[in-house]
Chains A and B, each alone.
Chain A
């Protein structure tokens, strides 16, 4: 039992070409920056956006296939869709919102109302059945949207930025609830998000998408330990360099060689943690083989650490303590030297 999609479409500046398979039992997060095409991909799978070529198959049944011309309209696909902003019908009560899908699929008024009440109980909103969506808090709306999508018993649950509309203060709690409800749903689950924290918290597997293309997939641990794109590296907060390995060095475009203990041969990624990078005002003496000069272009205080962005032969981000920064007497624009050990460079094939 799985969802299998292969979709190619052009929509405005977006050129989307994605293939993905999601199995029952796993919660998958589609992670990517704004404009990567995540929402468009979700809408295409729901039949709301036509695509140029490709197919969508759910549990082996074809929902859409451009090769054969098959197309099951959105309203006949067994999907539950939680939209960004939730899109609860403002003119209907909470109960009628949750019952809407059941009524649309032919359930009688009484049975639909009864099942809707059950669902409201499951999300802890039985007391709000008569309320209008406008009277609810953001978190409550999110739960109604989830109940509304799940009530008709879909096979595939699609969630588009389910927490983006919430205050930071309520987000953590709603996220825990959402994780619990996702766990109890017996179908295929796909969550779209641009927030890595959310993706890691909710999903068993991440699919990272950039500019309409898949860049990386794997468990949250796999993805964060071996970023394969600048986007993921930035999310995780590490330095990522791509280059050619040559027995102990990684040569990056431009000619600079980075000494890296594990480098053998072929195209590789080299990852350096910011904490492994030391900053000096004068050229350091001693063992590190990687020493460059540069200019501190940005200094940012993050909790009890300071991130310093250094422009130079190899642009890097280093992390020091506020005390160390004070000792260095460093301001933005200041000349610095950086160094790191060859053994602090993680190397893996590109």
Chain B
């Protein structure tokens, strides 16, 4: 599952801003001389929130066009290592970030910009009456998970282990969105995904909270990719994600604050 959003409205907004004499641009201190395009590779679970962040960042910096590319975190790492033109990389876990850093594809230290926690995802109305992790091991109930290489899948295993629940998933899906769509289609009864994914899916699915004691808090680091041709714009974008405005945007999508 991946999608690419090219903000073509960017160009129109840019022309409009120039006609206004750059009125909006002057409101942001870091934006005065920024221009060009940046390509942001972000984890699939960030899709909705980064679409919003991209739009508001561009509003604040009309000279910078933002290209957003979403995929599973490991896929993005592979693509960057094979030379995909990324300027910023936003990961859904620290493991993949550490791998990219160790392989020498990053500039400077990554910065944590958000946290996320897990929830059980079920069909609307919770037809199977699932109340907690222990219910997932119930006979006849179809539980599916993300594969262990997907961060959400790795955290699901941790949460189940902490709660002492032994359950074998029917399938190891390649992404959170694949898990949600199979629950939506009714092929599976339950899965474990991020709170943010449940919110993003709207009324198509429903979340069942996992107690803090069993829950795993995911850490989202962000970094500028080595060799970026727009390093100023890239670090401005990272700063924006960590700014008050950026953090409150992330909060509306269910993310927990960076600190």
> Are A and B in contact, CB atoms below 8 Å, in the complex?
no
